[in-house]
Structure 1
């Protein structure tokens, strides 16, 4: 997960990962002595400006498994370094960039030996949640494709909002500045090491990383030639409020409306029973969950007959009311729609979020940003009235809800947004909503908006990674996931290289291909359509093959 990276896989990984920093496997390195020496010398020779200090410069051979990447928070280390394997010889540079008298950004820069022969591209990768975790697996994935890859700690270490307390410059780094300074450092490092000016500059991120990408598109589109923004946590302030209210509705074990993990499985099955065949195929995947309006009253216990969950696997009136609130939009005390509903089929992802992290992100934002009061307590202090206090502050435009992409359009740069429609952390309906908001605000129909901004709903994808469908598209947070037989689609770079082809060759993506391994071990492939087109089963053929579907 990206928005909330403290999850079960993190906790397990933190226990089982070895302590050694590097484990080398695969073929021996053939990097020239000159490349190795120039890399080692960067600590002495790379001095781009008075704000940047080199902390580490070292050669890393092909086959190295970055099993314990150098971060200060162990859970960051476990999650974000998982699957980080160097596919090419590379130079690693770690720099400290001063951004003010009270703030700094740590950047990791991976410079692959193949850089000059693969387009001289630079890419910055994003973060997740409120954290400063460098996405090491994204760095090694991009470097394998020839990019000089940059990731930062977003201005602070660890996974909580504690570093924000009374430190506005740190919040500024988190909101956007780390992207700018990290990218500039990466460009200068590539120029210095290889003696060539970089070509195109790209960005890739999911969740908070998706918000960072949209922030760049809205406020400094000149920085990146192409942006790949997944599951964007934009509309950020209302997202924080929605997370708090969702937990209050169905996630608090002390509440009468609480839904347990076991009960969520039954809710999920009801959603599939009522909506799975809308797209023509009963496969556990909703191609258009926007059409799904579940009737949860079908799970209501017959109180007169004395039915209970234990006896009939049914739910109480309070629980049904809680479900209806979550599957409806968040409404403010003033009657405004603040945030869209949970997408049907995303309930299992939501259940995991509620069970593992609760209202952590919302609590941290209130304590360390809104109020600067570490004693704020969710259980006693949260209310929809508190959401108004939250929304009154938008530090450094972190809401990222500006619909005017005129500067992006004028720059001729490109934006691809995507969102898993099984995402229980950030509702995919927020991305549909933003696309249409931009369309209305700019007065542009889809055919003109698509000249520079395309949106792809990815069915069967949960929050950034994993899911029940063809979810692997070669994007942020996905390269570190293990598949039987290895990762699919690394040969052409997935959605990232789709973006490159659009930027550099003018070939705009009509579809993004997803793949996965199905429940019976079979390969599943599906082409995900650009919005507002929808994937439709043609009525014949194997639904696990892309030829059985069309965009219409």
Structure 2
């Protein structure tokens, strides 16, 4: 399939800026020659030659920036020929994409951490350009190619391009291909595992919005109706969510056997919210009866009275509600904007207009949302991973237990479905593993309540190339892996970190991975 992909049709627009480092003349010449080399292989429009580039904090690299498949904005960074480790990384993109962010920091839909380790790495905008990652006007103009690329086709297109560029610059294609993404990037990772299982040797997928229609549509409409009035005013203030967070943490912190200000077992948390009622005393941050009902509905998740339509917000995520769910300082919550974006696509309202979420009967619309054209294209809920197993690929999934945007319990239920579909947990574990991260919100967009930082590509690389599945991950609370810092032990689901009863709770060495009691 890879050899066929190399012949993909498209226009390649190459951009670059020259800033060669001393002693890299050979690489500079090879980089500049890329344009002519590629001219002999496929049609492209050259605006400026690819050029050796330096950015503070990064090794020198050959920068190739342009447009693939006629419309996918991309930037590929190729380390010096002597620095290349023989691997290619394709990053995902967040939200509804639309922006090219090659210098995005950290490990979420990012490329520079892997570039530093010798990877040839590519960032992209998934085939459209928008001023916001929650903007879906581009998907409502009758442009089916834009939707197809965003939903899934960008993957084979850019892997083919990665093969072409690495072969041209290094005179050989990559020996290993990896994908790493979070949120929508995590969805793309699962799309790759389910539909394109031979594209990558390893796939890292974090906080995946795998059930787009369920999470952004069903739960999104439910969430907007509970958190906002029909006039667009927030029902719950940041002061109230702060008090709610303290109450829930006090009630549920110790459910995992350790008091550390982290709710590591949110599925067991059943806090008594009546103590927050204003009828119990007019304290700052109290909630009236209607607000308490709305909060309970957010925890409960979308329902039709008899059936659970989608999981609810996890206890322990309250500190993140003002940003993702309830809004702050007069600004709408990002989760509300993203849900609105999906609902607009689902109803195919004209660009610039919007569906009124308050007018949606969530229960009545749930089935239709799951079979809408955009859901059929973009949902990544197929539990059959036989193609991944046959290809020998590895899938590293992770999700924050404190993620109020992409609901963690949906990822858990998908993984459990996949275990049943693929011969049981032990058989699936040879090719796919899920790590749930206590205190971690959504894709490191905010600091975790516990150490939650790790390089998923590095973990995945060790699995693919040593044939030993990860039995644990050590997370830290600073990007610098050499910094002396607190650590946490992350375990493959369904195992949990169990404290030894003696050591400091801020050290991974004080814990072991064990099955839940």
Normalising to structure 1: TM-score of the pair?
0.80
Q: Which residue of 1 aligns with 2:156?
A: 180
The answer as to whether partners of 1:271 and 1:294 remain within 8 angstroms in 2 is: yes
- How far residue 377 of structure 1 moved from its aligned partner, in angstroms, is 3.3
Matches within 5 A, 1:167-316: 167-241=143-217, 242-252=219-229, 258-302=235-279, 307-308=281-282, 311=283, 313-316=285-288
- How far residue 191 of structure 1 moved from its aligned partner, in angstroms, is 0.5
Cα deviation 1:118-152 (Å, max 9, x = unaligned): 53100100000112223423222211111110121
Q: Which residue of 2 aligns with 1:123?
A: 89
Secondary structure of 2:204's match? strand
Q: Which of 361, 372, 376 is 2:338 aligned to?
A: 361
Cα separation, 1, equivalents of 2:198 and 2:44? 22
Q: Which of 121, 128, 131 is 1:149 aligned to?
A: 121
CA 1:467–1:252 in structure 2 vs 1: closer, same or farther (change >3 Å)?
farther
Q: Which residue of 2 aligns with 1:14?
A: none
Secondary structure of 2:312's match? coil
Q: Which residue of 2 aligns with 1:40?
A: 32
Structure 1: tracts of 5 or more residues without a match: 1-20, 66-84, 475-494
CA 1:408–1:51 in structure 2 vs 1: closer, same or farther (change >3 Å)?
farther
Structure 2: tracts of 5 or more residues without a match: 1-15, 105-109, 328-332
Q: Is 1:163 the counterpart of 2:129 in the alignment?
A: no
Cα separation, 1, equivalents of 2:409 and 2:43? 41
Q: Which of 444, 448, 451 is 1:470 aligned to?
A: 451
Q: Which of 417, 423, 429 is 2:409 aligned to?
A: 429
- How far residue 337 of structure 1 moved from its aligned partner, in angstroms, is 2.9
Normalising to structure 2: TM-score of the pair?
0.85
CA 1:205–1:33 in structure 2 vs 1: closer, same or farther (change >3 Å)?
same
Cα separation, 2, equivalents of 1:185 and 1:313? 54
- How far residue 31 of structure 1 moved from its aligned partner, in angstroms, is 4.3
Cα deviation 1:256-315 (Å, max 9, x = unaligned): 981111100111111111000112222211222222122222212227xxx44xx45321
Q: Which residue of 2 aligns with 1:96?
A: 67
Cα separation, 2, equivalents of 1:23 and 1:261? 48
Q: Which residue of 2 aligns with 1:480?
A: none
Q: Which of 417, 426, 432 is 2:397 aligned to?
A: 417
The answer as to whether partners of 1:57 and 1:91 remain within 8 angstroms in 2 is: no
Matches within 5 A, 1:473-552: 473-474=454-455, 495-516=456-477, 523-552=485-514
Q: Which residue of 2 aligns with 1:382?
A: 360
- How far residue 323 of structure 1 moved from its aligned partner, in angstroms, is 1.2
Cα separation, 2, equivalents of 1:54 and 1:458? 45
Q: CA RMSD in A?
A: 2.6
The size of the alignment, in residue pairs, is 474
- How far residue 547 of structure 1 moved from its aligned partner, in angstroms, is 1.2
